[in-house]
Amino acid sequence: EHTIYLKDYAPSPYRIVSVDLDFRILAENTTVTTQLTIEPRDDTAPGTPLVLDGDELSLTSIAIDGAPLVLSAYLAEPNSLTVFEPPLRRFVLETEVVLQPENNTPLMGLYRSSGTWCTQCEPEGFRRITYYMDRPDILATFNVRMTAPRDLAPVLLANGNLVDRGDAGDGMHFAVWQDPFPKPSYLFALVAGDLGAITDTFTTASGRKVDLAIYCTHGKEDQCYWAMDSLKRSMAWDEKRFGLEYDLDIFNIVAVSDFNFGAMENKGLNIFNDKLVFAHPDTATDGDYEGIERVIAHEYFHNWTGNRITCRDWFQLCLKEGLTVYRDQEFTSDERSRAVKRIGDVVGLRGAQFAEDGGPLAHPARPDEYREINNFYTATVYEKGAEIVRMLATLLGEAGFRKGMDLYFERHDGEATTIEAFLNVFGEANGTNLDQFKTWYLQAGTPRLTVEDNYDAANQTYTLKLKQETLPTPGQPTKAALVVPIKFGLIGPNGSPMEWSGVSGAEVRDEMIVLNTDAAEVTFTGVANRPVPSLLREFSAPVNMTTNLTQDDQLFLARHDNDPFNRWQALQDVGMALALSATKGTPWSDNAVAALSEAMADTLASDTLDDAFKALSLTIPAEYQIAQNLGSDVDPVRVHEVRSELLKAIFAPLAIQLLQAYRGLASDQPYAPDAKSNGHRALRNRLLGLLVASDAPGAANLAAEQYETARNMTDRLAALGASAYAWTEKAPVLLADFKIRFGGDPLVLDKWLAVTAAVPEDGVIERIRTILADPTFPKTNPNRLRSLMGVFAMSNPTQFTRADGAGFRFVAEFVAEIDKINPQVAARVLTGFRIWPMLEPKRREAAKSVLTTLQSGGSLSRNTADILTRMLA
């Protein structure tokens, strides 16, 4: 398979100026007639062939300026169309293809989801609709006419503004949509179906009245109001924070049931996976509400960061994704709790991105080669991309960052551009050089930051020895030093911030050390006592930090740090140290556990900390986190056992306090999605989880009782999850009940599938097999497949990595089967194997042999073959 390299980028010899698309949608097929207004660039040599992309297309007619082409003038293949000698002037190329949306199970291009015709074009789906230069640096205006049976598709939508509609005879009707903004083909969208809707309006700061609508399956309208509320708040926030207004008179969102991703930012017509639209307290959890708010905001924010300014090529994907994730994180932080949001994001970053960066699929946030671009919608591009933008904001300060953003829009609006252009505007607006900073985009791997402190009482100096190191990753044997912003504070013995009179050894400003060399020694003078350092506050850089701080130091930070992130981190670090040493064979001391237990009790009892923060603090690092820190020869069963024992050792002695606190948090309030009510439920459910996990007397019954009496899905699912994970006596009955109560609602069924798939118990594979073998299980729906098999491969480490290889074989068989239906889903599930090199030898061999067998079976999609090749390299 051929590899695409960033260094080979070249502009196309022809431009597409405008596009006229005519869709004739029928129940049995869809005919697409396309008129492309094309012109050669100034330097295009006569006789340069015009090459258009296709994917499984078959051409039924072709003409230039109205004259059909003779056979020898062109070559039409399923994946390309070449016109050998196009005119060396502006011309119109007309083509016609016939599509079968019904059979489009990969869900790229034009497909049908529960009867609705819809499209997904990013990154390379437009070439499955018509022959085109399907690359993001071709910006054209689109004019779309669609004709469809009125009964099957009373609603006809596309990008931009509706300019005409009417009857087309024979039970058909038509609509014409025009998008005035030139756009790349990946932002094209069309929807035709029998849909309900809710509507609203938003008036922008400059007075433009925008009609808003969310379209959905009939009967689900009442579940769309939270999404609408989130949209309006997003629109207002982008005006206030970045001065960015919406630019069309219409903004439509459509919820569909079959979708490969979360959502898509098509210009003026966002298409969403319905799980990121529908919300009702009885069926959606707090996590779902927050996810909807976040993704609605994310797609809306793309209108400027992605659509108005887009990517020159797909290597620049994190130009729009990293920046837009940063923007949605800031939105959530402003709308909810900044500290809680940051902790949640860092947990996610470590779980997904650090794991990716430390394994065979590691790649830079801006990769320089790919075989299948769909495999690069990764945690590295999205989440590390957002961390890089966050570091930029940290280094430049809020005002400096805003200056850079303003210049970015001023200079690049309407362009398809690059990471270099993005960094240049920040450098220029702030009079600074970001050449070294750029390495963050180019270099894969999570840097290790080591800090050792030393206090010299005689001289009243305090020294921090800092070192950074990034281990080799695939294709990058050596690494350069990065610019690492380390926010910090020094805390005195009485718990308040400590001053110093001078500092040397590195750039230190705004309570931040800027480390830009492999090593540095930062010395503070005039330090009266040995401080405890609070380092990497707010997690100011995406690194793995180790320090020489003692458990006492950490517990001191947990009580006194005024950076809430580091207060949380300190408790987690203590838990991690105990878990790691026990996994490696050194049992924890009773005193050490008792001290952590006491700190947890104090956290719970605090009058100043809020509930959501307490909920996040009252735990120890997850199994995947412990495994990641071990790094090699991991036995997931051992990790699971150690973690369970440690949880019991810390929390069983607190059973009475936990139960009292649980009882003290009322559960009879009507559901409200705000952050405070959410925190209240999070803490109560955390306490229940801890009681169950630490085997407290009566805890299993308490969980069953909460399950039965719950007044919302958040509380019910928490009780079910805790019971199932601990596989209490009641778990099978509760699971069966949940299926009966909610199995008819596909999105709630997903929760049941996910809980079932995550149970760390030997019967799980058999139970999943039975579910998959049910002929009514929809193997074409990504949400169902991911809830079941994605969760098994990613979130059930003990069963997926069973020493007998049964878990590996099970996932590989699934991947081989689903690859024929939907390669993107298959490739994603397969990435669960990325942990294989760090397993202990027996499991490592078992995984490798399963992967090798899958590879030698051949006939895999490019998506799946690419992941396999990289994983086995």
Instruction: Catalogue the active-site residues.
Output: 299
Residue 101 or 367: which CB sits closer to Zn ion?
Answer: 367
| Long-range contacts (CB closer than 8 Å, 24 or more residues apart) made by 552-561 | 552/595, 555/595, 555/596, 555/599, 556/491, 556/495, 556/532, 557/491, 557/532, 558/599, 558/603, 559/495, 559/599, 559/602, 560/491, 560/495, 560/496, 560/532, 561/489, 561/491, 561/534
Min dist. Cβ of residue 242 to Zn ion (A): 16
Closest CA to 88 of 137, 141, 15, 33: 15
Residue nearest to ligand HT7 (CB): 261
Residues 294-333 within binding reach of Zn ion (CB under 5 A): 321, 324
Residue 311 or 616: which CB sits closer to Zn ion?
Answer: 311
- C-alpha to C-alpha distance for 20 and 620, rounded to whole angstroms: 57
Q: Is residue 388 within a helix (H) or strand (E), and if so which, with residue range?
A: helix 385-412
Min dist. Cβ of residue 813 to ligand HT7 (A): 24
Q: Which positions touch ligand HT7 (CB under 6 A)?
A: 120, 122-123, 260-261, 263-265, 298-299, 302, 321, 374, 377, 824
Residue 54 or 106: which CB sits closer to ligand HT7?
Answer: 106
Min dist. Cβ of residue 260 to ligand HT7 (A): 4
Residue 263 or 532: which CB sits closer to ligand HT7?
Answer: 263
Min dist. Cβ of residue 119 to ligand HT7 (A): 10
Min dist. Cβ of residue 432 to ligand HT7 (A): 29
CB within 8 A of 10, min separation 6: which ones? Answer: none
- C-alpha to C-alpha distance for 497 and 491, rounded to whole angstroms: 5
CA angle 757/763/767 to nearest 5° reads 55
List the end-to-end C-alpha distance of the chain, in Å, as a whole number.
Answer: 15
Beta bridge partners of 484: 515
Closest CA to 344 of 672, 627, 682: 682
Size of the site for Zn ion (CB under 5 A): 2
Considering CB distances under 5 to 8 angstroms, the limit depending on partner class, which of ligand HT7, Zn ion, none binds residue 120? Answer: ligand HT7
3-state class percentages of the chain: helix first, strand second, coil last, to nearest 5: 45, 25, 30
Residue 354 or 377: which CB sits closer to ligand HT7?
Answer: 377
Considering CB distances under 5 to 8 angstroms, the limit depending on partner class, which of ligand HT7, Zn ion, none binds residue 443? Answer: none
Min dist. Cβ of residue 170 to Zn ion (A): 41
Residue 325 or 630: which CB sits closer to ligand HT7?
Answer: 325
Residue 110 or 263: which CB sits closer to ligand HT7?
Answer: 263
Residue 375 or 523: which CB sits closer to ligand HT7?
Answer: 375
Residue 265 or 635: which CB sits closer to Zn ion?
Answer: 265
Q: Is residue 111 within a helix (H) or strand (E), and if so which, with residue range?
A: strand 109-113
Tell me the DSSP string of 732-753: HHHHHHHHHHHTTSHHHHHHHH
Considering CB distances under 5 to 8 angstroms, the limit depending on partner class, which of Zn ion, ligand HT7, none binds residue 215? Answer: none
Min dist. Cβ of residue 108 to ligand HT7 (A): 7
Which tokens sit at 805? 């290889």
Cα 698 from chain centroid (whole Å): 38
CA–CA distances in Å: residue 49 to residues 5, 59, 825: 22, 18, 36
- C-alpha to C-alpha distance for 471 and 466, rounded to whole angstroms: 17
Helices (H), 611-745: 611-617, 623-630, 636-651, 655-664, 675-693, 699-709, 713-726, 731-742
CB neighbour class for 12 (10 Å; exposed up to 12, middle 13-18, buried from 19):
middle
CB neighbour class for 247 (10 Å; exposed up to 12, middle 13-18, buried from 19):
middle
Strands 4-5 and 369-370: antiparallel
Considering CB distances under 5 to 8 angstroms, the limit depending on partner class, which of ligand HT7, Zn ion, none binds residue 370? Answer: none
Min dist. Cβ of residue 411 to ligand HT7 (A): 23
- C-alpha to C-alpha distance for 678 and 612, rounded to whole angstroms: 7
Considering CB distances under 5 to 8 angstroms, the limit depending on partner class, which of Zn ion, ligand HT7, none binds residue 261? Answer: ligand HT7
Considering CB distances under 5 to 8 angstroms, the limit depending on partner class, which of Zn ion, ligand HT7, none binds residue 260? Answer: ligand HT7
Considering CB distances under 5 to 8 angstroms, the limit depending on partner class, which of ligand HT7, Zn ion, none binds residue 116? Answer: none
Considering CB distances under 5 to 8 angstroms, the limit depending on partner class, which of Zn ion, ligand HT7, none binds residue 53? Answer: none
Min dist. Cβ of residue 297 to ligand HT7 (A): 11
Residues contributing to the site for Zn ion (CB under 5 A): 321, 324
